[in-house]
Structure 1
Amino acid sequence: MTLQNWYQYVHTTTEQVIQTLQQDWQNLTTEQWQQSPAVQSWSMAECLEHLNIYARFYHSEIKRVLAQAPAAYQKPVEQVHSNWLGKFSINGVKLNEAGVPIKKARTVKKFEPIISLQSPQHVYQEFLQHQHTLTQLITQAKHVHLNKLKTRTSLHPLVKLRLGDCIHFVVAHNQRHMAQAQRVAITCGFTTTASAD
């Protein structure tokens, strides 16, 4: 994938997420945020809190890697290459053309959303801030060696992703659960806006 194509996907997708949050979801009520379409199905707030948990870890990792990048790696690449782990991670969260996950995945317990101690509006505001932060990180990242720099993963400190793959994974994962939240809204009947993907 060319650097331009990589940047266009991660940047445009994140901007679309921000647009959906600000234009379509900003005025949802607490009841709407918490409404679940079925037993053991996530509400919209739970979808976003799940993404917040990921953002707290991965945004910190991306910031750390960018801040500690050796001088030799502070230059852009022409091609962003994925290794097998990057492809596996990204393909595991991708959507098809209809906005439906290609592969089903079981959520690891530590990433299950628990929002009983905070308001849905707080969850929303935190996620929105994470997306603004992500756009800044993406802009910084396009100027460094996305293939050589590596981030730790949430699976294990010794398991690492190339920076380009890490950001691609985070954005695709956001896209997956934004689409899930939109399906919740449509199923529950309080919005018909097209999803951010």
Structure 2
Amino acid sequence: MNANQISDVAVYFNELYQGLEKQLEQAERVYRQLPTAALEKPSVTQGWNIVQCLDHLNSYYQHYLPRIAPAAENPDQHIGMVKSGWLGKYLCKMIDPDRGPKRYKAMKKHHPARKLDNIEVIEEFIRHSRELKSLLEKLATKNINCIRIQSSIHPWISLRLSDTLSFLVLHNERHIRQGNRNLASN
């Protein structure tokens, strides 16, 4: 997915949907089946384990999903092309696992909790991902270029809904890959 370009709305939503579907499948078919030791295995790079990665992603879902959901109720309006704003382009490029730098410090409010219930965290991630998938279907007919969503960075910063959706799916992919690297090191 390249969130930095203007793209056809159908192509844009198809890429988001496919990316999210792949992430959801990883959680449902792989992470759900893993023993506690694999889920909690510390990263060889001193990064987060699988459950910590998912808890971090859940914190973003908790911020963004309630802000995105009302947009799905907006009147339909065909836009044809999806556009990014300058800040959205920057954030998506920064978080893109294929193009961004390798490591970032997470904001404190998005750090994983110290004590986690593995099953609860995985199920919450799956629930949130399904909710976003459902919202994507509804949002495909909305003008996502004009709708603004409050950023988790600061209440005064808002992003186009198109950038917010791209950011969420790219950010998920970044941390799903991080979790998968922990599996590969077994």
Distance (whole Å) between structure 2 residues aligned to residue 23 and residue 155 of structure 1: 32
Cα distance change, pair 95–39 in 1 and its aligned pair in 2 (3 A):
closer
Match of 1:44 in 2: 50
Q: CA deviation at 1:38?
A: 3.4
Displacement, 1:133?
A: 0.5
Q: CA deviation at 1:37?
A: 2.5
Post-superposition offset of 1:141: 0.9
Matches of 1:39 and 1:10, distance apart in 2: 29
Q: Which residue of 2 aligns with 1:59?
A: 65
Aligned residue for 1:134? 132
Of the candidates 62, 81, 84, which is equivalent to residue 83 of structure 2? 81
Contact 1:66 1:141 in 2 (8 A): yes
CA distance in 1, matches of 2:46, 2:68: 32
Counterparts of 1:82 and 1:39, CA distance in 2 = 33
Matched to 1:76, the amino acid is H
1:108 paired to 2:110: no
Q: Is the 8 A contact 2:50 2:179 kept in 1?
A: yes
Tell me which amino acid in the other structure corresponds to 2:113.
I
Q: What do the CA deviations read for 1:20-72 (whole angstroms, capped 9, x no partner)?
A: 122222211122111113374211000000000000011111013334x3x4x
CA distance in 2, matches of 1:168, 1:76: 19
Which residue of 153, 156, 159 maps to 1:155?
A: 153
Q: Is the 8 A contact 1:65 1:150 kept in 2?
A: no
Superposition misfits of 4+ residues, deviation over 3 angstroms: none
Q: Please list every run of 5 or more consecutive structure 2 residues that lacks an aligned counterpart in the other structure.
A: 1-6
TM-score, scaled to structure 2: 0.91
Give a deviation string over 1:86-136, Cα, whole Å, max 9, x none: 10111111022xxxx6213221111110140x3111100100111111100
The 2-side partners of 1:39 and 1:102 are apart by 18
Corresponding residue to 1:3 among 3, 9, 26: 9
User: Residue 185 of structure 1 aligns to a residue in which SS?
Assistant: helix
CA 1:59–1:7 in 2, change beyond 3 Å: closer, same or farther?
A: same
**Equivalent residue, structure 2, for 1:192:** none
The 2-side partners of 1:38 and 1:163 are apart by 36
Secondary structure at 2:159 match in 1: strand
Alignment-mate amino acid for residue 60 of structure 2: Y
With normalisation by structure 1, the TM-score equals 0.86
**How large is the RMSD of aligned CA atoms in angstroms?**
1.4
Distance 2:178 2:28 in 1: 17
Partner Cα distance (1:42, 1:91) in 2: 22
Runs of 5+ unmatched residues, structure 1? 190-197
**Matches of 1:39 and 1:179, distance apart in 2:** 14
Supply the distance in 2 between the matched residues of 1:171 and 1:95 (Cα, whole angstroms). 11
